[in-house]
Amino acid sequence: MRVSRATWATTVVVALSLALAMALGGGADVAAPPAEGDVLAPVRVLAMGREALSGEAVAGGFLRAKEDVTVSAERAGRVVSIPVPEGAAVRRGEAVVHLDDTLAAASLEQARAAAREAALDPDRPAAELAATEEALRRAAHELALHHPASPLDGVVEVHHVDAGEFVAPGTPLVDVLDARVLILDIDVDAEVVGFLRPGIELPVRVPSAGPEGTASGRITRVAGRAHPRTRRFRVEISIEERGGPLRPGMHADASIPLPPAAPSLYLPKSAVRRLRGEWGAYVVRDGLARWTPVGVEEIPFRPDLWRVRDGALVEGEEVVVSGFSGLRDGARVEVLR
């Protein structure tokens, strides 16, 4: 049967009209049942609750020995020997390097002889006697400078020179450290520094040291002003570590307990998204994901959370925290419990 061109046109108009009527008939605010094959977006949610958030600030830094010095040459000379090997204990005043002292030793013997001669002469003026005694002290001091000594009880950590080298004044010779007392330097925000003062005990943890990497530290200094660039305050924590697993150079975290803050709404940072230039979160309402703009602000001691500053979020609503792939405003969702 042949169909006229007019009949085809009439059929197309009727079909378009029916389709338009079906599209408009449901209304914008009524959710039609899912069509066959329509897959719900699986999401996980968190019920919003107002709470007085308490917790702790965690600040990290690197451990250092409280006593850590470099012994340097004060006189030029050839290194004759280094009596204390690396890793060995050394006492305060014990020589750690011997420089060639031939000339200094000879000068000391001459000064001693002159002092003895002056002391045996009863007619020697008092000024000359004092001069010879001063010369003797200077010669003894000069000889001692050829045998640099450790200024503390500790361990020789590093040799900077070898026997046979010629060194000039100021040349580093050896490093000596005492790791029985460690120092942890941390930087804290202005919101935290007000809770700190010298004498407060804080727990310290070194993750790389395993289960034994915990210790108690005591605040010994709190900076009186913030760093001009970071606007943070330096805090010094002293840790007595006598033979434990903690060592200088390890990274450590100090935990600072904080009092509860004012009750507020908080959002995990994973829940806050950016859509069309504005920040917000998806809220599940009547089985649909609804985009809700929200204003948030940082919490200095909780890097995982935002504090809700303003917006349309209310207590008790369920906010999407995961399952954002393909999620859009108005999408049907399946809440995973």
Delimit the domains of the chain by residue range: 32-54+262-335, 56-64+178-258, 71-176
pLDDT at 291 over 60: yes
Distance CA 128, CA 116 (A): 12
pLDDT at 301 over 90: no
**Angle at the Cα of 321 (from 316 to 327), degrees rounded to 5?**
110
Q: Which residues contact 297 (CB under 8 A, 6 or more apart)?
A: 306, 307, 309
**Could you tell me which of 293, 303, 280, 216 has the C-alpha nearest to residue 254?**
216
**Could you tell me which of 11, 54, 27, 57 has the C-alpha nearest to residue 191?**
57
Distance CA 154, CA 151 (A): 9
**Structural contact between residues 178 and 155, judged by C-beta atoms closer than 8 angstroms:** yes
pTM of the model: 0.60
Q: Where are the alpha helices (DSSP H) in 177-254?
A: 190-193
Domain 32-54+262-335 has CATH 3.30.1520.10: no
Class of domain 71-176: mainly beta
Measured from the Cβ of residue 234, the count of other Cβ atoms closer than 10 Å reads 18
Supply the pLDDT for residue 2.
44
In this prediction, residue 299 has a pLDDT band, given cuts at 50, 70 and 90, of confident
pLDDT at 37 over 70: no
pLDDT at 78 over 90: yes
Supply the pLDDT for residue 290.
94
**Structural contact between residues 206 and 250, judged by C-beta atoms closer than 8 angstroms:** yes
Tokens of 113: 């002889």
| Mean pLDDT of the region 31-54 | 70
- The string of pLDDT tens digits covering residues 245-262 is 899 999 999 999 887 777
Give the pairing type, strands 41-47 and 333-335: parallel
- The string of pLDDT tens digits covering residues 48-60 is 888 877 677 889 9
The more confidently predicted of residues 3 and 167 is 167
Q: What is the DSSP string of 94-108?
A: -BS-EE--HHHHHHH
Lowest mean pLDDT of 20-29, 36-45, 200-209, name the range: 20-29
- The string of pLDDT tens digits covering residues 99-124 is 999 999 999 999 999 999 888 888 88
What mean pLDDT, rounded, does the chain reach? 86
Measured from the Cβ of residue 333, the count of other Cβ atoms closer than 10 Å reads 20
Quote the longest CA-to-CA distance of the chain: 155
Q: What is the fold, at CATH topology level, of the domain defined by 56-64+178-258?
A: Elongation Factor Tu (Ef-tu); domain 3 (2.40.30)
The more confidently predicted of residues 321 and 16 is 321
CA 122, distance to chain mean position in Å, is 71
